[in-house]
Amino acid sequence: MTARMLDGRALAGRLERSLQQEVETFAAMFGRRPRLVVVLVGDMAASASYVKSKSLAAARVGIDSDVVPVAATASTADLVALVKALASEKHGPADGILVQLPLPPHVDTVAVLDAVPPDRDVDGFHPENAGLLSQGRPRFIPCTAAGVQRMLIDAEIPTAGKHVVIVGRSDIVGKPLALLLASRPPVGCPPDGTGGCDASVTICHSRSGDLGHLTRQADILVAAVGRPGLITADMVRKGAAVIDVGINRVEGKLVGDVDYGPVSEVAGWISPVPGGVGPMTVAMLMSNTLLAAEIRRRP
Ligand code: GUN
């Protein structure tokens, strides 16, 4: 079997084109554009590159965006004060505020993320947004999790009654994705099971023991750990959909968590790295920023 590719780049392009029209409608109605402010702490090359992708996407869809660079030596108190200042009126309407992660080790990341007002938390990391998602009434859904669900929906890969195995229990990807895919169908969900919900979900992590035993049971396998080559062909059930969320730099090249070549001989579907989940994460951030602007609806 040679897997069909889940082309996240192409889908993100289609989503961006439709978002661009919605942004124009917003701008015509309210006389301003949605605005995203990204806080970039330190000089990690990977973070700078992700932030650049976000700024470029914002420009493509017509969202105003600013990057606020901060020295790696900034303290937790400095960053909390900055986030609060960005959220105050005198700095202009920042509909969405995003603090690029990871922060330097001396910084209390939770304290900084909790300072982002929940109605501008386009990452969906604030406990209020995480709580809303867990109760089945999401507001801002974390972008990578939303992007993976959208890829499954777009490819019409059934989730209802299927077994999803997620490797990785992070607050950014694993946990919100498990909640999303296991959720009850929202109004308008297609009746044929391709709505990205109603799945049975297993979350695996570093203490899961025989990982292969669990991953081989997956109809849909999601790898979100950040370890190159973690998922090998013998860990995948024939015909399964394999979604690779990992982004690792190996000898200057970007690779995922999945051993792509051999796994694509076994899987029914596979997402590449780069060009899979990454562009979808960025597209969903643009969607969350427009949603934040619509929630605020300020002239
Ligand atoms: N670093 C890696 N992924 C993310 C993300 O989704 N949001 C933020 N803020 N930082 C990240």
Residue of 227, 220, 166 lying closest to 194 (CA atoms): 220
- In angstroms, the CA 105 to CA 63 distance is 32
Count CB neighbours of 105 within 10 A: 6
- In angstroms, the CA 287 to CA 78 distance is 29
Which residue has the least CA distance to atom 8 on ligand 1?
A: 100
Distance between Cα 102 and ligand 1 center (Å) = 7
- Index of the ligand 1 atom closest to the CA of residue 281: 6
CB 159 less than 6 A from any atom of ligand 1 = no
Residue ranges of domains in the chain: 31-117, 142-277
| CB 66, CB 37: distance < 8 Å | yes
Instruction: Classify domain 142-277 by CATH number.
Output: 3.40.50.720
Contacts of 229 (CB under 8 A, 6+ apart): 255, 257, 258, 259
Return the SS3 of 57: helix
Architecture in CATH of 31-117: 3-Layer(aba) Sandwich (3.40)
Tens of pLDDT along the chain (299 residues) come to: 799 999 999 999 999 999 999 999 999 999 999 999 999 999 999 999 999 999 999 999 999 999 999 999 999 999 999 999 999 876 677 999 999 999 999 999 999 999 999 999 999 999 999 999 999 999 999 999 999 999 999 999 999 999 999 999 999 999 999 999 999 998 888 889 999 999 999 999 989 999 999 999 999 999 999 999 999 999 999 999 999 999 999 999 999 999 999 999 999 999 999 999 999 999 999 999 999 999 988 55
Which residue has the least CA distance to atom 4 on ligand 1?
A: 101
- Index of the ligand 1 atom closest to the CA of residue 172: 6
- In angstroms, the CA 175 to CA 159 distance is 17
Return the SS3 of 5: strand
Contacts of 8 (CB under 8 A, 6+ apart): 147, 151, 271, 272, 275, 276, 277, 278, 279, 280
Distance between Cα 264 and ligand 1 center (Å) = 27
Distance between Cα 215 and ligand 1 center (Å) = 26
Q: Do domains 31-117 and 142-277 have the same CATH topology?
A: yes
| CB 152, CB 220: distance < 8 Å | yes
Beta-ladder partners of 35 = 64
Q: Quote the pLDDT of residue 20.
A: 98
CB 172 less than 6 A from any atom of ligand 1 = yes
Tokens of 201: 């979900």
Amino acid residing at 235? M
- Index of the ligand 1 atom closest to the CA of residue 142: 6
Is 198 buried (19+), middle (13-18) or exposed (0-12) by CB count in 10 A?
Answer: middle
Residues labelled as active-site residues: 54, 100, 123
The continuous run of DSSP H or E covering 221 comes out as: strand 220-223
Q: Quote the pLDDT of residue 298.
A: 58
Distance between Cα 113 and ligand 1 center (Å) = 11
pTM assigned to the model: 0.97
CB 129 less than 6 A from any atom of ligand 1 = no
